[in-house]
Amino acid sequence: MTDPAATALVGLDLVAVAAYLADRTPGPGMAPPLSATLIAGGLSNLTYEVSDADGRVWILRRPPLGHVLPTAHDMRREFRVVSALYGTVPVARTYVLCEEPDVIGAPFYLMEKVDGVVLRTRAQCAALTPRQARSASESLVDVLAALHTVDPDAVGLSDFGHPDGYLYRQLDRWERQYASSQSREIRGLFELGDGLRAAVPVTQRSTILHGDYRLDNAMMRIHGDGAAVAAVFDWEMSTLGDPLADLGLLLTYWEDQGHPAKGIGSAGGGLTNHEGFLNSRAIIERYQAATGLILDDLDWYIAFNHYKLAVILEGIHYRHEQGLTLGEGFERAGAAVPALVEGGRRFLDRTR
């Protein structure tokens, strides 16, 4: 976490939050005064740990400051999907959604604090025993497969997205969002988008998607020789669509042991290239066994996620250049973009 004194009140009016939530939280309600700490790690929506005078703790999420890309950072959608999935896959319990921007300047929602650890740095991952690393990665794959078997109708999410044409709309979305936050020319990025559009695979099945599924968007509960996902966070890009888009993103971030760090994850990468973590082939085999999906076109999905991440990080670079980011790590976002474009082109070439 970052220094509370430096960040607790940036983007968060604690007096206004306390007044709004006074009679809306479960139990006796919040006891002012409140204190807050910005939780490090995320490069998009802002996440705070909020405590009251009685020592109770919650997690509060709000959109980033300043320039926000169209359709992004929708608190209502994120609150809805997490609330709907509670009890099916590991997620935090949600409490209150505030859609009134006048309270703190943007919508926000409140959820429970889940006990566990987010594997966000190389040092944390290297400190795991091989068995802990293996079980953590197995659990991560199993939760993704479980998410992709949840029936949207059964949890009230049948209208959460429009799965028909999902991949084409995604390509349209990221092209528009790059255009809306472009501050420099990225060689090959438009060409990568065109190449992906010319080779879109047929979607086998439509499911609930997380949209940003990776190791450091999960809270792990580590015990003895094991580890398991306690909760998955950061659902801001969730929708209904092609499940292989989620798997492709997980593999885009994943680093096999003995391979150099890609530098696109938290703390510059290098999270999973330690002894015990499943390698990419084992992830693919485990996911395929659990879902029954055919993965012949997986290279396209990995190339697509390189493109998507390049656009997202370019947007973060744009906000950082304007001085509209909080926390650490934003200064590295722009440097990763050209390598992502090049990596996407290599995977796309493999599909041909």
User: What are the pLDDT digits (tens) for 188-243?
Assistant: 999 999 999 999 999 999 999 999 999 999 999 999 999 999 999 999 999 999 99
- Residue 334 to residue 312: CA distance in whole angstroms: 10
Do residues 254 and 286 make contact, with C-beta atoms less than 8 angstroms apart?
no
Q: Among 1-5, 183-187, 310-314, which is the least confidently predicted range?
A: 1-5
Evaluate if residue 155 carries a pLDDT over 90. yes
3-state SS class at 28: coil
pLDDT at residue 273, as a whole number: 93
The full DSSP string for 175-201 is HHHHHHT--S--TTHHHHHHHHHTTPP
pLDDT at residue 94, as a whole number: 97
- Residue 62 to residue 283: CA distance in whole angstroms: 33
CB 335: neighbour CB atoms within 10 A?
A: 13
31 dihedral zone (left: phi>0; alpha: psi -120 to 50; beta): beta
- Residue 301: φ, ψ to 5°: -65, -35
Instruction: For tokens 């390598």, name the residue.
Output: 339
Evaluate if residue 331 carries a pLDDT over 90. no
Residue 102, Cβ density class (10 Å: 0-12 exposed, 13-18 middle, ≥19 buried): exposed
Q: Among 41-45, 58-62, 233-237, which is the least confidently predicted range?
A: 41-45
**Predicted structure pTM score:** 0.89
Q: What is the mean pLDDT of residues 88-98?
A: 97
Evaluate if residue 184 carries a pLDDT over 80. no
- Residue 128 to residue 135: CA distance in whole angstroms: 10
Q: What is the mean pLDDT of residues 43-53?
A: 86
- pLDDT band, very low/low/confident/very high, at 3 (cuts 50, 70, 90): very low
Instruction: For tokens 């349209």, name the residue.
Output: 172
* Amino acid identity at 34: L
Residue 194, Cβ density class (10 Å: 0-12 exposed, 13-18 middle, ≥19 buried): exposed
In this structure, the dihedral spanned by the alpha carbons of residues 194, 196, 202 and 207, taken in order and rounded to 10 degrees, is -110
Evaluate if residue 318 carries a pLDDT over 70. no
Peptide bond into 33 cis (omega under 30): yes
